Structure 1
Amino acid sequence: MLFHWFLAAIHLLAFALGFWAVLTRGAALRTLAAGAGDMRRVLLADNFWGISALTLLVTGAMRAFGGYEKGTDYYLHQPLFHLKMTLFVLILLIELAPMVTLIKWRIASARGTAIDMGRAKLYARFSHVEALLLVLMVVAATGMARGVTFG
């Protein structure tokens, strides 16, 4: 029982970390686009965003399919679980372009070459959309925890 509680706590804390990280990355990208930002801040926030996403994926899979919570059958037949997973996939799809670009920026920074920040403002917007989708995931998760169903 304690491990179930621990797993749930880690899962929820990963949402909090992810929300902070993606908002921080968005703000850092916005200031970077304005010419006043710090690349290290962007990359550090991006690291935390990645850690939180991985933690959400692992702990979520353990909870839904590892026998630690209500059981796989419950989740697969729960509409809010499908909503939550759809939102997660949307976040992953939105994240593809910033992720690839930030990897390129890391490589360029390590090599000491120039970094094209032309899309920094766009990726700041993407980050803020991802933060909103995270909030919606939490709303769906709280409904699941309460056994909310439709129909």
Structure 2
Amino acid sequence: MMIRWLLAAVHLLGYGFALASIIGRTRALRQLSGPADLSRVFLADTGWGITAIVLIVTGLMRVFGGFEKGADYYLHEPLFHIKMAALVLILILEVMPMMALIRWRIAVKQGDTPDLALAGRFARIGHWQSVLLIVMVFAASGMARGIGAAA
């Protein structure tokens, strides 16, 4: 019982930290005027990466780890499918910014100046990721209250 509560609490907190990290990275990307501003982008990006891992691990544990209602319940829950579709879209949207930010980090460590031309596009991607994360929260809270439950 205690582990179920803790997993649920960490999972829910993860949404808040994820949203804050995505918004922080998006804001930092919008305000990016040169390599000197990258530390804010990297800090928020690290927070987003850690939080994404926490959300995915705790989510998998809750669905498949025997701590909650079980995979059969979730896999037959329409709102769960909406939540997972939003997650997949977030992850697909993350591929390009993640790869670029890895290249930027490497360039900075090597003393080079990274090409920051796509920062605006990555900020727009962050906006849509924030929207999708909010969709996930609505789907999760609906599931918790039995809304849209399979008959």
d(CA) in 2 for partners of 1:37 and 1:22?
Answer: 20
Query: Which residue is equivalent to 1:17?
Result: 17
1:34-83 per-position Cα deviation (integer Å, ceiling 9, x unaligned): 45971000000000000111001000000011111111110010010011
Query: Which residue is equivalent to 2:62?
Result: 63
The answer (yes or no) to whether the contact 1:31–1:37 under 8 Å persists in 2 is no
Instruction: Provide runs of 4+ in structure 1 moved above 2 Å.
Output: 34-37
The answer (yes or no) to whether the contact 2:25–2:44 under 8 Å persists in 1 is yes
The answer (yes or no) to whether the contact 1:22–1:127 under 8 Å persists in 2 is yes
Query: Which residue is equivalent to 1:111?
Result: 110
The residue type equivalent to 1:82 in the other structure is: H
d(CA) in 2 for partners of 1:69 and 1:145?
Answer: 11
The residue type equivalent to 1:10 in the other structure is: V
The answer (yes or no) to whether the contact 1:81–1:144 under 8 Å persists in 2 is yes
d(CA) in 1 for partners of 2:44 and 2:36?
Answer: 13
Question: Is the aligned partner of 1:99 residue 2:71?
Answer: no
Q: Give the unaligned 5+ runs of structure 2.
A: none
Question: Is the aligned partner of 1:51 residue 2:50?
Answer: yes
Q: CA deviation at 1:138?
A: 0.2
d(CA) in 1 for partners of 2:35 and 2:114?
Answer: 15
Question: Is the aligned partner of 1:122 residue 2:121?
Answer: yes
Name whichever of 80-89 and 37-46 sits farther off.
Answer: 37-46
TM-score by length of 2: 0.96
Q: Let me know the Cα RMSD of the aligned residues.
A: 1.4
d(CA) in 2 for partners of 1:5 and 1:105?
Answer: 39
The residue type equivalent to 1:44 in the other structure is: L
d(CA) in 2 for partners of 1:84 and 1:28?
Answer: 27
Q: Count how many residue pairs are aligned between Structure 1 and Structure 2.
A: 150
Work out the percentage of aligned pairs sharing the same amino acid: 51
Change (3 A) 1:119 1:26: same
